Amino acid sequence: MSLHIATPLLASTALPAKDGQESWLKMEALQPSGSFKLRGIGYACEEYRRRGARRFLSSSGGNAGIAAAHAGRKLGVPVLVVVPETASARARELIQREGADILVHGASFQEANAHALSLLGPQDAFIHPFDDPLLYEGHATMIDEVAQAGLRPDAVVLSVGGGGLLCGVVEGLRRNGMDEVPVIAVETVGADSYAQSLARGERIELPAIASVATSLGARRVSEAAFALASRHPVQPVVVTDADAVGACLRFMDDHRVVVEPACGASLALAYQRHPALAEFRRVLFIVCGGVTATVAQLHAWGAALR
C-alpha cells in the first residue's frame, strides 16, 4: 500500500488544441495532499521509516511540507516543519491540519532551512522538497500509471521548481520504454532558474524569486535536473504570471479543479496554443496541483496582473 493514490488520466476536450491533437491530463491535483508531491515524499518517508527514522523534518511551507505532514500522519511518525515568518497563515494551517508540529524561524526560507538542518538528530530524516533520488522513484509512478492505461504520449508538459518532478517523470518514461518522449519544462518569469541554467550551460542561482508561482521558487535547480537535459530531450518554456493565473482560472471552469499558478504555468501552454506543442499529436499535461492558493487569491492575482 502506498500513501499516494492512482489518479485519473483524462482526455480533455476543453483544453484548446490543434485539429487532431489530443490533450491528456494526469490529475495529480487529486492526491490526498493536493499535489503530486505525495508520490515522491510518501515513498521517501516510507523508506526512511524502514531505515529507522523516528521523526521527519521539513523546511517547506508549501506542498512538500504538507505532503511530509500527511505522510507522517499516515505512517504514525511525528513531523516537524520549520517555516520562515513569511509563511502564509494558510500554509501554516494546512500543515497543522495534517497533525504536524510547526516551528516558525527566521526571515527567509534559507534561515528556516538552516535551522531545520541544525535540529537534525540521528533518528530524524530530512525530507527534501525536490533533491533526493527517492523522490524521483515515487514521482515516476505517475508515468507507470500512464503506461498501464495504454497511453504513449508524444510529449509531456510539466512544471519545474527545483526539478524533482522533472527527474521523476523522466525516470518513469525510461522505465516504461519511453526514453525518446520529450519533456516540455515550464516555469514562470521570475522563477525561471532552470531555463536560465540551460541557456547558460551552468546552474545559475536566481538572486530572488519574483513570481506568484511560489512552488516553482527554487533559486537553484538540482544538479540531477540540470544534468538530465544532456541525456533526455527537454525543452524549457517560460510563461508570465498572468498566463499562469489565467490558466488556473480557466481550468477551474473547464475541469472544476483548483490548482496553483505553479501548475497553471503548464496548463497555460494549452490555453496559449503555444508553438512548443505544435508538432505533437498526443500531449500529456501533468496537472501537478497545489493547495496553497485559494479561489479568492487566484481571482485577486488575476485582477492585479491584468
Ligand X SMILES: *Cc1c(COP(=O)(O)O)cnc(C)c1O
Binding site for ligand X (CB under 6 A): 35, 37, 63, 130, 159-166, 215-216, 218, 260, 262-263, 288-290
Asked if 113 and 87 count as a contact pair (C-beta separation under 8 A), the reply is no
Strands (DSSP E) found in 35-135: 55-58, 79-83, 101-104, 124-126
Residues 155 and 268: their CA atoms lie apart, in Å, by 15
The least CB distance from residue 78 to ligand X, in Å, is 23
The least CB distance from residue 140 to ligand X, in Å, is 12
Compare residues 35 and 141 and give the one whose CB is closer to ligand X. Answer: 35
Cell numbers of 132, please? 533526493
C-alpha distance across the termini of the chain, in Å: 45
Compare residues 23 and 31 and give the one whose CB is closer to ligand X. Answer: 31
The least CB distance from residue 102 to ligand X, in Å, is 18
Q: How far is CA 77 from the centre of its chain?
A: 24
The least CB distance from residue 298 to ligand X, in Å, is 13
Compare residues 178 and 262 and give the one whose CB is closer to ligand X. Answer: 262
Residue identified by cell 494558510 is 90
Compare residues 102 and 135 and give the one whose CB is closer to ligand X. Answer: 135
Compare residues 21 and 265 and give the one whose CB is closer to ligand X. Answer: 265
The least CB distance from residue 224 to ligand X, in Å, is 11
- Give SS3 for 235: strand
Crossing angle (nearest 10°) for helices 295-305 and 241-255? 140
The least CB distance from residue 292 to ligand X, in Å, is 8
Segment (H or E) for 287: none
Q: Report the amino acid identity of residue 117.
A: L
Cell numbers of 231, please? 541525456
Q: Phi and psi for 201 in degrees, rounded to 5?
A: 75, 15
Compare residues 182 and 217 and give the one whose CB is closer to ligand X. Answer: 217
